[in-house]
Amino acid sequence: MSEEKATLVTREGLRKLQEELDYLKSVKRKEVAKRIKEAISYGDLSENSEYEDAKNDQAFIEGRVIDLEDKIKYAKIIDDKQKKGKTVQIGSTVIIERVDSKSGEHEEYTIVGSTEADPINNKISNESPVGKALLGKSSGEKVKVDVPKGDIEYKIVKLV
């Protein structure tokens, strides 16, 4: 498998992808097909907004199904054993602090593949600026992160 095509996910993330795929195939496809059939019954398709909306939804669902099937096919599970290392890896949870911060506030992030990124829940992608900068580093090291406002320097407080 090509590394660039691999979808890095946890077991939980893979389960969620499979659930979404199953839902789209078993529920949403049927709902859209029913809407298309109903819209066709209204007659003239050239000015039928219900038909147009249903066809757009169908195209979106089919695109998402293809995307999910591809991600699942090339899924590479982030093993729990990989999380417990001396350096930051995908799957690691890391506590960092801004070097220039006077408050001493810590931020805790889990580094995940881009498919599972959820910044609101402190899951950042290995492809994000912070995630990329942290990979391969260990506790006590400082990293510079290039952000639109300039460079921010973080210190890795500890790996959890």
CATH of the domain at 152: 3.10.50.30
85 and 64 in one domain?
A: no
114 and 52 in one domain?
A: no
pLDDT at 49: 86
Q: Is residue 1 part of a domain?
A: no
Report the CATH number that the domain containing residue 33 is assigned in CATH.
1.10.287.180
Six token digits for residue 123: 């899951």
pLDDT tops 60 at residue 80: no
Residue identified by tokens 């077991």 is: 11
Range of the domain at 42: 7-77
Q: Is residue 104 part of a domain?
A: yes
Q: Mind listing the pLDDT tens digit for each residue in 106-138? A: 999 999 988 899 999 999 999 999 999 999 999
Cα distances from 41 to residues 36, 44, 50, in angstroms, run 9, 9, 11
The three-state secondary structure class of 91 is coil
Count up the domains in the chain and report the number: 2
154 and 123 in one domain?
A: yes
98 and 60 in one domain?
A: no
pLDDT at 3: 54
* Spatial CB neighbours of 12, under 8 Å, sequence gap ≥ 6: none
Q: Do the Cβ atoms of 107 and 95 come closer than 8 Å?
A: yes
87 and 153 in one domain?
A: yes
pLDDT tops 60 at residue 1: no
CA-wise closest residue to 156 among 111, 118, 114 = 111
Q: Is the pTM of this model over 0.75?
A: no
